[in-house]
Amino acid sequence: TSAALTLLGGSVAALVVWKWLGKKMIQKKMEEARRTRDEGMKKMAKAVQQFREQVPRVQTDAILSLPLLELTGRLQDGSLSPRTVLYTYLEKVSALEVTQQTNCLRHFIPECEEQLQEIQQRKEKGLLYGIPVSIKDHIGHKGHLATCGLVQCLGTLMKEDSVLVKVLKRQGAIPFAMTNVPQSLFSYDCSNPIFGQTLNPLNPQKSPGGSSGGEGALIAGGGSILGIGSDVGGSIRLPCSFCGLCGLKPTAERLRWVLGLPFQPCSRSGWAAGEKCWCGCLLLSHPVPCALGPMARDVDSLALCMKALLCQEMFQLDPAVPPIPFNEEVYSSSTPLRVGYYDTDGYFPLPPCMRRAVKETRHALQAAGHQLVLFSPPRIPYVMTELFLKTFFADGGRTWLDVFAGDIVDPGLKPQVNSCKIPRLVKKLLALLLKPLQFLLLLKLKDVAMISTCRSVKEMWNHHHQIQVYRSQFITQWKELQLDVVLCPVLGPAFTTGYPGKLLTAISSTMLYNVLNFPAGVVPVSTVTEADEEELKLYKGCCDDPWDRTLKQAVSGALGMPVAVQCVALPWQEELCLRFMKEVETLSHDK
If you average pLDDT over residues 322-332, what whole number do you get? Answer: 97
pLDDT for position 451: 61
Q: Distance between CA 56 and CA 53 in Å, rounded?
A: 6
Q: Distance between CA 131 and CA 279 in Å, rounded?
A: 34
437 annotated ligand-binding residue: no
Cβ count within 10 A of residue 96: 12
Contact 240, 569 (CB under 8 A): no
Parallel, antiparallel or unpaired: strands 246-249 and 174-179:
unpaired
Q: Distance between CA 507 and CA 446 in Å, rounded?
A: 11
Does the domain spanning 31-257+278-380+470-590 belong to CATH 3.20.20.140? Answer: no
Pick the residue with more confidence: 546 or 227? 227
pLDDT for position 419: 81
pLDDT over 50 at 270, yes or no: no
Q: Distance between CA 360 and CA 142 in Å, rounded?
A: 46
- Taking only the tens place, the pLDDT of each residue in 390-448 is 888 888 788 888 888 888 999 999 888 888 887 777 766 766 665 555 444 444 444 45
pLDDT over 70 at 213, yes or no: yes
Pick the residue with more confidence: 288 or 103? 103
Residues near 1 by Cβ (< 8 Å), separated by ≥ 6?
Answer: none
Helix, strand, coil distribution of the chain in percent, nearest 5: 50, 10, 40
pLDDT over 50 at 261, yes or no: no
Lowest mean pLDDT among 93-107, 115-129, 185-199: 93-107
Q: Give Cα separations from 104 to 100, 170, 313, 452, 508 (angstroms).
A: 8, 26, 30, 36, 26
If you average pLDDT over residues 466-475, what whole number do you get? Answer: 97
pLDDT for position 96: 60
Active-site annotation, residues: 136, 211, 235
pLDDT for position 406: 80
11 annotated ligand-binding residue: no
pLDDT for position 122: 93
Q: Distance between CA 58 and CA 61 in Å, rounded?
A: 9
What pTM value is reported for the model?
0.93
Residue 521 banded pLDDT, cuts 50, 70, 90: very high
Q: Distance between CA 108 and CA 115 in Å, rounded?
A: 14
Residue 264 banded pLDDT, cuts 50, 70, 90: very low
pLDDT for position 280: 33
Residues near 524 by Cβ (< 8 Å), separated by ≥ 6?
Answer: 240, 241, 244, 245, 246, 562, 563, 564, 588
pLDDT over 60 at 251, yes or no: yes
pLDDT for position 78: 96
Pick the residue with more confidence: 318 or 10? 318
The domain segmentation of the chain, as residue ranges, is 31-257+278-380+470-590
Q: Distance between CA 444 and CA 439 in Å, rounded?
A: 9
Q: Give Cα separations from 28 to 34, 385, 453 (angstroms).
A: 10, 40, 37
pLDDT over 70 at 282, yes or no: no
Residue 7 banded pLDDT, cuts 50, 70, 90: confident
> Is the torsion defined by CA of 427, 433, 434, 436 positive or negative?
positive
- Taking only the tens place, the pLDDT of each residue in 437-456 is 544 444 444 445 456 677 78
Lowest mean pLDDT among 227-231, 279-283, 466-470, 512-516: 279-283
DSSP, residue by residue, 316-340: HH-TTS------HHHHH-----EEE
Lowest mean pLDDT among 17-31, 210-224, 312-326, 530-544: 17-31
Q: What residues are paired with 566 via a beta bridge?
A: 488, 522
Q: Distance between CA 141 and CA 159 in Å, rounded?
A: 8
Q: Give Cα separations from 101 to 94, 95, 192, 223, 226 (angstroms).
A: 12, 11, 17, 12, 20
pLDDT over 90 at 12, yes or no: no
DSSP 202: T
Q: Distance between CA 396 and CA 414 in Å, rounded?
A: 15
Q: Distance between CA 300 and CA 523 in Å, rounded?
A: 12
pLDDT over 50 at 150, yes or no: yes
Q: Which of 179, 199, 164, 190 is nearest to 313 (CA)?
A: 164
Determine if residue 284 is left, alpha or beta; phi over 0 gives left, psi from -120 to 50 gives alpha, anything else beta.
Answer: alpha
526 annotated ligand-binding residue: no
pLDDT for position 156: 86
As a whole number, the mean pLDDT across the chain is 89
- Taking only the tens place, the pLDDT of each residue in 173-201 is 999 999 999 999 999 999 999 999 999 99
ω into 493 cis (within 30 of 0): yes
235 annotated ligand-binding residue: yes
Residue 374 banded pLDDT, cuts 50, 70, 90: very high
Pick the residue with more confidence: 591 or 179? 179
ω into 211 cis (within 30 of 0): yes
pLDDT for position 236: 98
Q: Which helix (H) or strand (E) holds 485?
A: strand 485-489
Pick the residue with more confidence: 535 or 58? 535
